[in-house]
Amino acid sequence: MTICFICLSALNCAAQTPSADKPHHTHSGFRNVTEYEEHDFWDFLKWRRERAKKEIPGPQSYDFPLAKNNPDFLKQNRSMNTVTWIGHATILLQMEGYNILTDPHFSKRVSPVQWAGPERVAPLGLALEDLPPIDIVVISHDHYDSLDEQTIKKLRQRPGGEKTRFYVPLGLKNWFAIRGVDKVVVMGWWDRHRDGNLEIIAVPVQHWSKRSIFSRNKTLWAGWVIKADAFRFIFVGDTGYTAHFKEIGERLGPFDLAAIPIGAYEPRWFMAKHHVNPAESVQIHKDVGSKKSVAIHWGTFLLTDEPLDDPLKNWLPLCRKIRFPQKTFWSSNTAKPSFWTESDRDHLIFNTPQTHTDSHGPYARPAPAIRLRLPRDNLAEQKLSSRCAG
Ligand SMILES: [Zn+2]
């Protein structure tokens, strides 16, 4: 979820013509079909009032280190599967010879303007100019932290950028057409599209959309499954926890790799419908049947009430407590000092932070410069653990 200044933009997106046989289509746009009650504007004001009274650490409270990356390897690589978390919901996935970006955001702010709005706190894991040629971009929804106009323009202006195919949810075709992007595939939930050796499928998640005061839920939101003969990937996008994930796992899983959000979840009374917390993210990993997952949507922009490093501090002990097999669910603090090879069997290379080996195996640990606090109390950790154990 992005916050109020998203309403400043006059940008609007044409809604897709509704389909009477699809329960998530309405006469004017789209809706969630899970147990769901929309927050209204008064809820939003209540959240902002409560937030104003909290002492939320600002960007200056964090010191996320930036480590050296290896763009030369990534630019030349077309044979090995790799994943690089660039920041927030942006990952570079090199899969079966394709270079794929999820929700690319390389700008300074989450905002329709670059002089106001939440500022990037952690540096980019990979600069835009260091990207390899991008074949495919998938967009989860139209919020400003997922669909960034400046980034889309810059991707198009790169050499070969006109060849990039954009996969977007229903209702977003005009947004891209206005900006001269014509290689756009617009898809609804469970739609499938063949792209060379890949099959791309839009899947349901629980979220919402809005880019202006006139565009609430005019465009759809979705996760993306990308399948090849030997590798299956799911990008969960931006979502609350729902039964959709079990269904996705049953219909399209298991997956070799999932990109799952772990951050932007406080306060729960307002955020739970749209954003999972770390315990729910682990449950999604289990529901979809992923062998390995990468944690996204945290540690980059200050969007919600929890401290920016809170997701990692809750999520790491949780993974340890439920004894995930080693390297099952991975994260970094956005710094990417080196590569390591997961195994020769699946040729998956994680662009990784430091790792730490304990009795449960190696886990990604934040680099020393990050200010890591222990979970606030044992009770909180027990609650997280018990929620996740099922
Ligand atoms: Zn969102």
DSSP result, 316-383: HHHHHHTTPPTTSEE--SS---EEEE--TTT-EEEEE--EEEETTEEEE---TTS-----S-HHHHHH
Task: Kindly state whether residue 187 falls inside one of the protein's structural domains.
Answer: yes
Cα(127) to ligand 1 centroid in Å equals 23
- For the segment 172-219, what is each residue's pLDDT rounded down to a tens digit? 999 999 999 999 999 999 999 999 999 999 999 999 999 988 889 999
Cα(278) to ligand 1 centroid in Å equals 17
Domain count, the chain: 1
CB-based contacts of 140, cutoff 8 Å, min separation 6: 89, 102, 103, 146, 169, 205, 207, 221, 222, 223, 224, 235, 237, 238
Cα(325) to ligand 1 centroid in Å equals 31
132: Cα within 13 Å, side-chain hemisphere: 24
Q: Distance between CA atoms of 177 and 189, rounded to whole angstroms?
A: 21
Cα(251) to ligand 1 centroid in Å equals 25
Cα(358) to ligand 1 centroid in Å equals 35
- For the segment 19-61, what is each residue's pLDDT rounded down to a tens digit? 768 888 988 899 998 777 788 888 888 989 988 888 888 887 7
CB-based contacts of 163, cutoff 8 Å, min separation 6: 133, 135, 183
Task: Kindly state whether residue 20 falls inside one of the protein's structural domains.
Answer: no
Cα(172) to ligand 1 centroid in Å equals 15
The predicted model gives 81-103 an average pLDDT of 90
Lowest mean pLDDT among 15-29, 177-191, 297-311, 348-362: 348-362
Residue 220's pLDDT is what?
96
Q: Distance between CA atoms of 208 and 5, rounded to whole angstroms?
A: 16
Q: How confident is the model at residue 235 (pLDDT cuts 50, 70, 90)?
A: very high
Task: Kindly state whether residue 150 falls inside one of the protein's structural domains.
Answer: yes
Q: Distance between CA atoms of 272 and 241, rounded to whole angstroms?
A: 8
Task: Kindly state whether residue 264 falls inside one of the protein's structural domains.
Answer: yes
The three-class DSSP label of residue 222 is coil
Cα(226) to ligand 1 centroid in Å equals 21
Cα(2) to ligand 1 centroid in Å equals 6
Task: Kindly state whether residue 332 falls inside one of the protein's structural domains.
Answer: yes
Cα(140) to ligand 1 centroid in Å equals 8
Q: Domain containing 164 — which CATH number?
A: 3.60.15.10
Q: How confident is the model at residue 6 (pLDDT cuts 50, 70, 90)?
A: very low
Cα(178) to ligand 1 centroid in Å equals 22
Cα(102) to ligand 1 centroid in Å equals 14
DSSP tag of 118:
P
Q: Distance between CA atoms of 100 and 245, rounded to whole angstroms?
A: 22
Gap between the terminal Cα atoms of the chain: 27
Q: Distance between CA atoms of 180 and 71, rounded to whole angstroms?
A: 28
Cα(83) to ligand 1 centroid in Å equals 22
Q: Distance between CA atoms of 305 and 161, rounded to whole angstroms?
A: 37
The three-class DSSP label of residue 93 is strand
Cα(262) to ligand 1 centroid in Å equals 13
The predicted model gives 299-311 an average pLDDT of 87
Residue 223 and residue 205 in contact, taking contact as beta carbons nearer than 8 Å = yes
Cα(7) to ligand 1 centroid in Å equals 13
What is the Rg, in whole angstroms, of the alpha carbon atoms belonging to the chain? 19
Task: Kindly state whether residue 376 falls inside one of the protein's structural domains.
Answer: yes
Task: Kindly state whether residue 313 falls inside one of the protein's structural domains.
Answer: yes
Identity at 261, one-letter amino acid code: P
Cα(199) to ligand 1 centroid in Å equals 25
Cα(298) to ligand 1 centroid in Å equals 13
Whole-model pTM?
A: 0.82
Residue 165's pLDDT is what?
98
Q: How confident is the model at residue 379 (pLDDT cuts 50, 70, 90)?
A: very low
Cα(357) to ligand 1 centroid in Å equals 35
Please give the mean pLDDT across all residues of the chain: 79
CB-based contacts of 390, cutoff 8 Å, min separation 6: 283
Cβ count near 193 (within 10 Å): 14
Residue 326's pLDDT is what?
55
The domain of 306 spans: 67-388
Beta strands across the sheet bearing 255-261 = 192-195, 198-203, 223-227, 232-235, 255-261, 290-296, 329-330
Task: Kindly state whether residue 15 falls inside one of the protein's structural domains.
Answer: no
Q: Distance between CA atoms of 49 and 26, rounded to whole angstroms?
A: 32
